[in-house]
Amino acid sequence: MTEKHEDGTTRRSFMATGATAVAVTAAGVGIAGVAGSGQRAQGATLPLTPQCTDGDDTPPVIEGPYFRRNSPKRTNLRTTGVSGVLLSLTGFVYNIRCQPLGNVLLDFWQADQRGQYDNSTAQYRGRGHQFTNADGSYTLETIVPKDYPGRTPHIHVKVQAPNGPILTTQLYFPGDTKAYGMNVAQLNARDAYYITDTLIALGPLTSNRYAGKFDFVIKR
């Protein structure tokens, strides 16, 4: 398992054993053929995302050095100077009982098509926060970020339900992602922070655009 839970001792008792979690995962692989269906990647042939019913919440990944507070409220990060392979990312935020959560803060930040962060706070390029809709859904219009030294392409995000704890994690891309000449499979394999639990499920590349899906599952 590649999970990096820092607080595994707080998991709910009915999903407390690893044996239970594995059994559910194995049972779910059979129906994991649809992109975006939200199954865990382990044992499956397609890169898929965690699902609330597998008994696990979305694991944390390090914040890294480039988070900036007070990002603009926006769902479209394709602002001036940001271009590349387009990514339309959609999904839901659930609690571990599979209930969709509205009004959850999602604060995204990412590198651009050159693998660079805008670390000034003049324009907050590649940064934006939003709140999930009442049905738990969200949409992010952005680009596929390029890799940078030591890191495979990834999108950072902080997730927080009202008055809830903050989940800080990173979303990753399947190995066959085509953008900027990257060998994403090799980059993923070499990245110390890469985990399959937070892989975005990508559809086909069409007209320079990917549709991606990722569902968050948070303790709430």
- Which of residues 97 and 114 has its CB atom nearest to Fe ion in the complex? 114
Tell me which stretch binds Fe ion (CB under 5 A): 19-27, 62-70, 94-102, 132-140: 62-70
Closer residue to Fe ion (CB): 44 or 144:
144
Under 8 Å between Cβ of 73 and 29: no
7-15, 57-65, 127-135, 171-179 -> range binding Fe ion (CB under 5 A): 57-65
Least distance between Fe ion and beta carbon 110 (Å):
7
Q: Does 115 bind Fe ion (CB under 5 A)?
A: no
**Rounded least distance, CB 157 to Fe ion, Å:** 11
Residue with CB nearest Fe ion?
Answer: 64
Tell which one of 37, 63, 64, 84 touches Fe ion (CB under 5 A). 64
Stretch that binds Fe ion, among 19-27, 56-64, 82-90, 207-215 (CB under 5 A): 56-64
CB 153 to Fe ion: min, Å: 9
40 vs 146, beta carbon nearer Fe ion: 146
Residues near Fe ion (CB under 5 A): 64
